[in-house]
Amino acid sequence: MAQSVVSPQTAVSRPAPLRIPVRDIVPWAVFAAVLGLVLIYFVGAEQGATSLISGTWVHEFTHDGRHLLGFPCH
Amino acid sequence: MASSNVTGSNVNASTTAAPDAGAPAQAMTMRALLVRGMLVGIAGAALALVVAWIYGEPQVGAAISFEEAHAGHAGHEPEVVSRAVQKSAGLITAVGFYGVAIGGIFAIAFAFAYGRLGALHARATAALVALLGFAAVEGVPFLKYPATPPAVGNPDTIGSRTALYFGMVAIGIATVVGAVIVCRRLVPRFGTWNAVTLSAVAFALVNAVLFQVTPKPDAIPEHFPAETLWDFRIASLGMQAVLWATLGLLFGWLTERSVRK
């Protein structure tokens, strides 16, 4: 039973993995990395070690997530 | 998401000479990968939130109770954000944004890795990238600077602790990327198994040395319950494990499915 399910799947010819050219990845990589790092900074560090916005609201609002995601909080 | 892949591949699926090569090339666009990565990141964040509420929040609460009982200073500071909001909207926002960011970056890493790690297909590539990402972004930093609940850590050293933490994340990423590059070079000479073993041992040794030479500014207050600290750290590790496992398995499954169409 199990074999009859498995064998047709493995029999299907799987195409060899095609690389995405590095040239096509780089612009996305730069953009996503910058955006991702900004998000992670605001979740993990703003109004802690450094402060771009005055006050403590961002720190207090993300407090539990900051502790539980492993960032140093205070 | 899946439907957009199909319409994309219909455009010129029949053009290339290789019988099976046309469709996957169309299905595997950066756009599709990035959208999928961010959506799977949200799914992973949702599961991590469940872990946070069941295993993490009780420990945060216990740590805050300890902090208040031992603070000793008269009069409470005014609450900027209430505990109820911190536990719900605040936690959801923080973990959600974190999931989207990690998911997007994961998709980029997958795009670089796919087709460049021997004959690994989409599902196995996603699982391997997630495992390596977890080791780099969570494993290495956690072993040296594990997550700390409220009341643990001296507020005066927050600057240096934050710098050390992000520095350790950078070291994790650098050593994992280095191990992968070394491994790829060793494969032709030593074979896959030996190459992976050698580069994994080298990775562990380099990090063991770095752990020994980096400072340890952790300040655990006297009489802080060890069980709360342990349970908090395991909950934090569990959230990250669930997030990365979702990325590796769900992203891989969805991508494999779209490639086979």
The number of residues in chain B equals 261
Q: Closest to B90 (Cβ–Cβ): which among A28, A63, A73?
A: A63
- B23 lies in a domain? yes
From B157, which residue of chain A is nearest by alpha-carbon distance?
A: A74
CA–CA gap between residue B125 and residue B134 (Å, rounded): 14
Chain A (7-66) residues lying within 8 Å, Cβ to Cβ, of chain B: 12-20, 22, 24-25, 28-29, 32-33, 35-37, 39-40, 42-45, 48-50, 55-57, 60-66
What's the domain range around B137? 2-70+87-152+220-260
For an interface test with A, which of B36, B49, B76, B148 has the most A Cβ atoms less than 10 Å from its Cβ? B148
* CB hemisphere CA count around B224 (13 angstroms): 23
Burial tier of A35 (Cβ tally within 10 Å: 0-12, 13-18, 19+): middle
What is the predicted pLDDT for the residue at B72? Answer: 61
Per the CB < 8 A criterion, the answer to whether B147 and B233 are in contact is: yes
What is the predicted pLDDT for the residue at B235? Answer: 97
ipTM score: 0.83
Amino acid, res. B218: D
- B166 lies in a domain? no
Q: Do B112 and A22 touch (CB under 8 A)?
A: yes
A–B CB contacts, 8 A cutoff, strictly below: 176
Per the CB < 8 A criterion, the answer to whether A65 and B97 are in contact is: no
Q: Do B86 and A69 touch (CB under 8 A)?
A: no
Residue B170 CB: number of other CB atoms within 10 A?
13
Give which of B94, B91, B137, B129 is closest to B247, Cα–Cα. Answer: B129
- B9 lies in a domain? yes
CA–CA gap between residue B206 and residue B59 (Å, rounded): 33
What is the predicted pLDDT for the residue at B217? Answer: 79
Per-residue pLDDT reduced to its tens digit, B99-154: 999 999 999 999 999 999 888 999 999 999 999 999 999 999 999 999 999 989 88
For an interface test with A, which of B86, B184, B255 has the most A Cβ atoms less than 10 Å from its Cβ? B86
How far off is chain B from A1, nearest CA to CA, in Å? 23
| Three-state SS annotation for B135-155 | HHHHHHHHHHCCCCCCCCCCH
Q: Do B28 and A18 touch (CB under 8 A)?
A: yes
Chain B (209-228) residues lying within 8 Å, Cβ to Cβ, of chain A: none
Per the CB < 8 A criterion, the answer to whether B102 and B137 are in contact is: yes
From A46, which residue of chain B is nearest by alpha-carbon distance?
A: B162
CA–CA gap between residue B212 and residue B181 (Å, rounded): 25
Amino acid, res. B195: A
Residues of B in contact with A40 (CB under 8 A): 97-98, 101-102
Q: Do A20 and B142 touch (CB under 8 A)?
A: no
- Max distance between CA atoms of chain B, in angstroms, equals 79
Residue pLDDT tens, chain B, 261 long: 344 444 434 444 444 334 444 444 555 889 999 999 999 999 999 999 999 999 999 999 999 999 888 876 544 566 788 999 999 999 999 999 999 999 999 999 999 999 998 889 999 999 999 999 999 999 999 999 999 999 898 888 888 899 999 999 999 999 999 999 999 999 999 999 999 999 999 999 999 999 999 998 777 888 899 999 999 999 999 999 999 999 999 999 999 999 887
Q: Do A74 and B95 touch (CB under 8 A)?
A: no
DSSP per position, chain B: -HHHHHHHHHSSTT-SSSTTTHHHHHH--HHHHHHHHHHHHHHHHHHHHHHIIIIIHHHHHHHHHHHHHHH--SSPPPPSS-HHHIIIIIHHHHHHHHHHHHHHHHHHHHHHHTTTSTT--HHHHHHHHHHHHHIIIIIHHHHHS----TT-S-GGGHHHHHHHHHHHHHHHHHHHHHHHHHHHHHHHHH-HHHHHHHHHHHHHHHHHHHHHHS-----PPTT--HHHHHHHHHHHHHHHHHHHHHIIIIIHHHHHHHHH-
CA dihedral A62, B159, B204, B146 (to 10 degrees): -40
CA–CA gap between residue B98 and residue B104 (Å, rounded): 10
For an interface test with A, which of B31, B158, B184 has the most A Cβ atoms less than 10 Å from its Cβ? B158
From B168, which residue of chain A is nearest by alpha-carbon distance?
A: A71
Left (φ > 0), alpha (ψ -120 to 50) or beta: where does A47 sit? Answer: left
Determine contact: B151 vs chain A, CB below 8 A. Answer: no
- B141 lies in a domain? yes
How far off is chain B from A3, nearest CA to CA, in Å? 21
What is the predicted pLDDT for the residue at B4? Answer: 42
For an interface test with A, which of B91, B116, B137, B233 has the most A Cβ atoms less than 10 Å from its Cβ? B91
- B101 lies in a domain? yes
Q: Provide the number of structural domains found in chain B.
A: 1
- B158 lies in a domain? no
Per the CB < 8 A criterion, the answer to whether B145 and B165 are in contact is: yes
- B76 lies in a domain? no
- B25 lies in a domain? yes
Q: Do B148 and A72 touch (CB under 8 A)?
A: yes
- Confidence class for position A15, pLDDT limits 50, 70, 90: low
